[in-house]
Amino acid sequence: MKKVIISILLIWMGLTPILANNFTTTLRPSPISIEPGEEFVVNVNVSNMNGIVAVEGNFSYDSTKLQLVQSEFTYNGHDVAVGTRLVVNFKTAKSGSFTAAQLRFRPRPGFSVGQSTIISFSGVSGSNGTTDFSGTSSNTTVNMIPAKSNNNFLLSLSATGVNINFSKNTLNYVADVENSVKSVTITGSVEDGSARVTGLGTFSLNVYENIFNITVTAENGSRRTYTINIRREDELGNPIFVSSSTDIDSLTVSACEINFSNLIDAYQCTVRNDVNFTNVNASSKDSTIKIEAPTIVILEEGLNTIEVNVVAENDDVRVIVINIERSTDIFTVTPDEAMITLEQISIPILGIQLQKDEELSSQLLNQAYKLNKKLLIHQAGQTILLTVEKLINIPLLIEFQDLSLNGLPEFNYPIGQSVGLSSPLPSGIRGSWWIEPYLRDFDLKVYDVNNTSNPLRLAVIDGILDVDDLTLALFITPATLTTESDMNLPLLIGTGVGGLLIGFILSLLIKKRS
């Protein structure tokens, strides 16, 4: 009967009754120990929540000892406001147990070591939007304790048989020991008795580097690491590995292809006379290897020797030799290539391959004149050497005669060269017949194709035949030409004598058998 009366009174007074299904609040951690100047966080935890959208209550702390860092903020999606009251609004209804807010404090200068203070949350209630629920009160005690030591220095550090010039501010040490030293004992002490040290003890030594880390942890958890690298020498007295490798990754020369291999130390190639320099490129990914090589080499005529020195880490030297022969032989290019090539060659003659009805430009002829070079013209199996004796203002078309040698007895001149132009060369250009190399070892005779009865008395000097009339059809051969009528009588006489001799021998053989 009393409960009914109380409910009626509350309704009449305009108050909503608080129901009995409570939830729990706690402030954590509890207690809290901090050092002077150390910020800390208080978690406002709730549990046994059931569809609640807001929590609030009286919030108090000693503002002479503590300073709240934030008064309004968002935590984990919750809107939090802190003053004399703590209010937390949830975006959606929350159930279960969770942290509703995190409150950050820092101590004020008046909060001294040895003192304590209380943070409390009381008169707590929650709402689901229509109904209010009561929550438990909670508090936590904050104690100011002395600051922990941050001293993480070593007082001493030593290793058996190793010279270490220790200083507490020097963190890295390197020491070498002989190959016979196979283990080491590392000892040390801390400057502050509250600190801890790890990494001391007895250890075996590998050849070359051995890294030991000695870590000092101060009372407050800060760390300092000292490092000792004890290098045990190899049998040759090297404290670190020293490579003897002289293998490189690549070696090229721009003038020609050498097909580099680390198994080969000598290379050779031949280049044309117009190749007057070469770039040399050598590389290695091994940073311990040094390569000593010229980057560019001027090529002289004849043999050019290039040396590339590869120096290993242990100072072993590998010498790679590249021999490049710059040819002094005449070579042949197209008219399009001839202008540039004339400037690059040192030999006096450049061969040019002409197609039928293809002209030599006046620019090319004048370039040959200025550089004092001769042009060896090849066309359809015939060859002529041109000497330009003055500047030319028109292009040159060379027409060789299409010589027919069918009238000559071919059986007595197996090799030979026919020459002749259809029209004379213009003034300022002198032509000479170039004797093909395969004929130069013979005693040559020159015949007028239209009159083969007598060889012409013409001199061949250094493989060049000079004639006044280039339109004269000539045949150059090491043989003596004869006509067919000249050959018939000797051939008949030889055949008859041979027949009589064979008959005589056969009669003797038959007579002997009988």
Residue 438 DSSP symbol: G
- CB of 77 within 8 A of CB of 102? no
What is the spatial distance between Cα 89 and Cα 130, in angstroms, rounded to a whole number?
15
Which pLDDT does position 467 carry in this prediction?
92
Of the listed ranges 20-24, 104-108, 235-239, 381-385, the least confidently predicted one is 20-24
Of the listed ranges 128-137, 164-173, 176-185, 255-264, the least confidently predicted one is 128-137
| pLDDT confidence tier of residue 380, bands split at 50, 70 and 90 | confident
For residue 510, pLDDT beyond 60: no
For residue 497, pLDDT beyond 70: no
The burial class, CB within 10 Å (0-12 / 13-18 / 19+), for 438 is exposed
Flag whether the pTM goes above 0.75: no
CB atoms within 10 A of CB 80: 20
The per-residue DSSP string of 367-432 comes to: HHHHHT-EEEEEETTEEEEEEE-S---S-B---B-----TTS-GGG-SS-EEE-BSSPPPTTEEEE
Q: Where are the alpha helices (DSSP H) in 221-334?
A: none
Quickly tell me which residue has 């760390």 as its tokens: 223
What is the spatial distance between Cα 494 and Cα 438, in angstroms, rounded to a whole number?
33
Which pLDDT does position 8 carry in this prediction?
33
For residue 156, pLDDT beyond 90: yes
Nearest to 60 by CA among 109, 120, 145: 120
User: Is 487 strand, coil or helix?
Assistant: helix
Which pLDDT does position 408 carry in this prediction?
59
Of the listed ranges 379-383, 474-478, 485-489, the least confidently predicted one is 485-489
User: Is 449 strand, coil or helix?
Assistant: coil
For residue 482, pLDDT beyond 80: no
With b for 16 or more beta-carbon neighbours within 10 A and e for fewer, the 393-431 pattern comes to: eeebebebbeeeeeebeeeebeebbbbbbeeeeeeebeb
- Name the average pLDDT for the chain: 87
- CB of 385 within 8 A of CB of 375? yes
- CB of 84 within 8 A of CB of 58? yes
What is the spatial distance between Cα 109 and Cα 129, in angstroms, rounded to a whole number?
43
Of the listed ranges 16-25, 288-297, 445-454, 487-496, the least confidently predicted one is 487-496
Residues 6+ apart with CB under 8 A from 51: 93, 94, 95, 128
CA quadruple 135, 141, 142, 147: dihedral, nearest 10: -140
Of the listed ranges 2-11, 69-78, 234-243, 467-476, the least confidently predicted one is 2-11
Which pLDDT does position 409 carry in this prediction?
54
For residue 36, pLDDT beyond 60: yes
φ, ψ at 412 (rounded to 5°): -115, 15
How far is residue 110 from each of residues 42, 143, 145, 147, measured CA to CA in Å? 20, 13, 14, 16
Span 187-199, average pLDDT:
96
| pLDDT confidence tier of residue 449, bands split at 50, 70 and 90 | confident
What is the spatial distance between Cα 46 and Cα 198, in angstroms, rounded to a whole number?
43
Which pLDDT does position 459 carry in this prediction?
87
| pLDDT confidence tier of residue 412, bands split at 50, 70 and 90 | low
Rg (the chain; Cα; Å): 55
Nearest to 445 by CA among 420, 477, 488: 477
What is the spatial distance between Cα 31 and Cα 116, in angstroms, rounded to a whole number?
10
